[in-house]
Structure 1
Amino acid sequence: MDTNSTPAATIRDLFELRLIDGLPVEVDGKTIRYHVVRLRETGVAHERIAEQQAERVVMLNGAPRLLVSDAEFAFAMTVQHVEAFQCDSVTIPAAAIDRTLVGKLSTHDLGLIEKRIFLITLAAEVRYGNMTQQEFDSYVNGNAPAAVASPQPEGQTPDVGADSHAAESGPALLADFSGVDASRKASRDRG
């Protein structure tokens, strides 16, 4: 998505999302629901904040360890993407938005936000040249590209498939699966 050639309304629409249930907030004994969320792209600083929020000290084998929960990190990153919640002329700015506030959303609305964040991330990939506009449009229209073949999960598989004639990977990789010292020659070369 080339932001220089795309109309401003389209770009604004990508960053603005209407929620179904809305964010419930108590004001003067009444529940107000913020149905519009403004999103933003995030950077390294946002990722660091999310990582710090996801850190937990746990005891492993009697010693304290600092671990980062993947689920907590993903949720904290979602919170970092939220720029504001809006209801009529009232706005909750990013500085007042935390995980507790976003935790009041319905599961459905949180899912809508996460889907939109995915599109914002893909749009950035188009802007940086890592993805074509056609690939982006294909994703938006629900046509994901074919899966790329992945390596065999069991390790080395000589004489299998189209690459059976190719030499096996280096000794270090073979050592991972065979338990042989990595400095020794590969099994085919031992004779």
Structure 2
Amino acid sequence: MDAHTQTPPSLDLYTLELKHGLPATTHGGKAIKYRLVRLRDTNVGDERWACRQAERVVTVGGVPKLLVSEEDFKHALTVRHIECFECDGVRIGQDIIDLPLIDKLSSYDLGLIEKRVFLLTLAAEVRNGLMSQADFDAIVAGTSSKGKEAPQPLGQAEGVGRVPAAAQPGPELLADYAGGPANGAAAGHGGGAAAPQEQALTAGAGHA
């Protein structure tokens, strides 16, 4: 965990145990489930990867346009927060974690990951001085600060829980996301290493 992130002693934001786990089969034919997930902070490279996963070519009025689905972007960026899955000392690293692999998770487990990513994003806001430690602790404890509505998150956490927006042009989406002009770069929350290149899931992916 980042030394600058203060959290309750009992809570390790970067380690999460799933209820159902990621199903896989060992080389010996044994069915196993990866229940332990280790998470990471993301950076600009991860955001660019997520944006590419959310791009779609749509014909509008007979003219092809490149659009970015905000819902798909947020889902892909959640995936980039996963550093690895672990089971009995065997791990599935980020280099082979992609969207088809995540599709094998139960909706419940994906929800657990999304909630933890939300807290990781708020912790980044604390590090960057955009949220107080007291407000963060109140959210972790499930209470709002001073009896008022919980503070509204910024950056990646903004819009969590809202109705997904329709697909929109990539530059406009990134401008909304970064809170700046369309030609500006999206702000990173990073503490992680540079994002590896996207790799297709091989036939042996997920096998111990």
User: SS in structure 2 opposite 1:14?
Assistant: coil
Partner of 1:23: 22
User: How far is 1:138 from its partner?
Assistant: 0.7
The structure that has the greater radius of gyration is 1
Q: Kindly tell me: are residues 2 and 89 of structure 1, through their superposed partners in 2, closer, same or farther at Cα, counting changes over 3 Å? A: closer
The TM-score normalised by the length of structure 1 is 0.70
Amino acid at match of 2:43: G
1:40 is aligned to: 40
1:3 is aligned with what amino acid?
A
Who is 2:75 aligned against? 75
Q: Is the 8 A contact 1:3 1:127 kept in 2?
A: no
Q: 1:124-165, CA deviations, whole angstroms, 9 ceiling, x for partnerless residues?
A: 1111111111100111111234279xxxxxxxxxxxxxxxxx
CA RMSD of aligned residues (A): 2.5
| Other structure's SS at 2:129 match | coil
Q: What amino acid is aligned across from residue 146 of structure 1 in structure 2?
A: E
Name the amino acid aligned to 2:136.
Answer: F
TM-score w.r.t. structure 2 length? 0.65
Deviation at 1:51, TM superposition (A): 0.1
User: Of 144, 149, 160, which residue of structure 2 is paired with 1:146?
Assistant: 149
Any conservation in 1 of the 2:5–2:127 contact (CA below 8 Å)? Answer: no
Counterparts of 1:111 and 1:14, CA distance in 2: 15
Give yes or no for the alignment of 1:114 onto 2:114: yes
% identical equivalent positions = 52
Q: What is aligned with 2:105?
A: 105
Q: Single out whichever of 129-138 and 33-42 deviates more from structure 2.
A: 129-138
- Aligned equivalent of 2:137: 137
Residue 57 of structure 1 deviates from its aligned partner by: 0.5
The code of the aligned residue for 1:17 comes to L
Structure number with higher helix proportion: 1
Structure 1 contact 2–127 (Cα < 8 Å) conserved: no
Instruction: Number of aligned residue pairs: give it.
Output: 147
Q: In structure 2, do the counterparts of structure 1 residues 58 and 5 end up closer, same or farther at CA, with 3 Å as the change threshold?
A: closer
